[in-house]
A = this chain, B = another copy of it.
């Protein structure tokens, strides 16, 4: 690796570690004041931010960036207002830091509990969207962490401008400016350095595509909280309420196509399939959803005259379409459904539609995914809907934080002991 980059990143790391102590020590009011000051400054400096963004957009267009990426890079007035509103919502959330739980007196006389504390230094690696800079900084400040932000090189001008605002807000509130640092180089080697300095960085939160995650999984020595793909399933059980099945089956697919909690495979119990599938297909028709059906469901849907029909292959069970396409399969019952899910799912979110108590309880217990729902759309699997207030991502990992990750996911628990002079005998 380039020595200059490696030294630069080492310097960021050392500064972040030093700042993390002051961030962790700061009281609630101080951290909230910093967030409030930053929100006000972003409002005030909106013209400067838009100018910086215009520079990024111009360079991106010159480099032939795809329209979808340009769209993500653009910082509109509305996007700025949303960032500001997001910070104010974070201010309003309860402070997770310092809370002591499970306090109990032990036979020896000591009193043992667990205190929620910041993780320390959080590294966030993301792509073009400049709003992530502010959302992530806000969550890290609120949870008492120092953070190193590595945004996409396309957004470097805008991220520099945001970094300046954030640092000023921290300093005005009496916190170290190094509490939030933006990696100020577009050299890709900076990512390689960030993910291999466990002495300075406690956790990496990658927010990006499969390519980024794959690279990090191969190279990182710092632990990660990963947001991966969502191959989500809805299983319509024999005992499903027909109306709920139609509503959920439609909403889970068609409410939004590009989100990770969108249904990608529909499983239908065999005996109910001839009733459910044709009616559900009428709904999908309004959205021209392409149905990739296994042999049995294909026969039913073809008989019903569904126009956008294809044969499913095994690849369909493993695909996150993020589009008006849905894989459909008929199964024998709950065991076959759970077997399919535990084999093909990305362990993000799955739902069952049923009025059968035992089927619901088994599905909740035995499906090995971050979110498991009974009689509700997979689209609810999200930090805001779950009441976390804000989220930094949805974790497909099992360790530390699983499912939507809010402020708690950015903290750890340490044991605290209140004694009275006790010694071990």
Contacts and interface: CB of A to CB of B under 8 A. Distances in A.
B387 A106 contact: yes
A106 B385 contact: yes
Contact of A399 (B108, B110, B202, B381): B202
A364 B120 contact: no
Nearest to A423: B251
A371 B417 CA distance: 8
A398 B412 contact: yes
**Contact residues of A: prevailing secondary structure:** mixed
A376 B414 contact: no
5 contacts: A115-B372, A202-B399, A244-B420, A351-B417, A374-B416
Given A380-B424, A423-B377, A119 B398 contact: yes
B387 A104 contact: yes
Contacts of A424: 251, 255, 377, 379-380, 385
10 smallest CB-CB distances across A and B, nearest first, come from: A376-B419, A251-B423, A244-B421, A373-B417, A379-B424, A400-B400, A375-B419, A399-B400, A371-B415, A398-B412
A398 B202 contact: yes
Contact of A247 (B342, B385, B421): B421
A25 B112 contact: no
Most B C-beta atoms less than 10 A away, residue of A112, A370, A412, A417: A417
A412 B373 CA distance: 17
A418 interface: yes
Interface in A173-205: 198, 202-203
Interface in A106-133: 106, 108, 110, 112, 115, 117, 119-120
Number of copies: 2
A400 B21 CA distance: 21
A422 B380 contact: yes
A3 interface: no
Interface string A230-260: 0000000000010110011011100100000
Given A24-B368, A380-B424, A424-B385, A418 B374 contact: yes
Contacts of A404: 415
A169 interface: no
Given A117-B368, A255-B423, A424-B255, A112 B247 contact: no
A294 B420 CA distance: 29
A163 to B, nearest CB: 26
Contact of A241 (B98, B218, B421): B421
B115 A365 contact: yes
Contacts of A243: 421
A36 interface: no
Contacts of A371: 414-417
A369 interface: yes
B423 A248 contact: yes
Interface in A390-425: 397-400, 402-404, 412-424
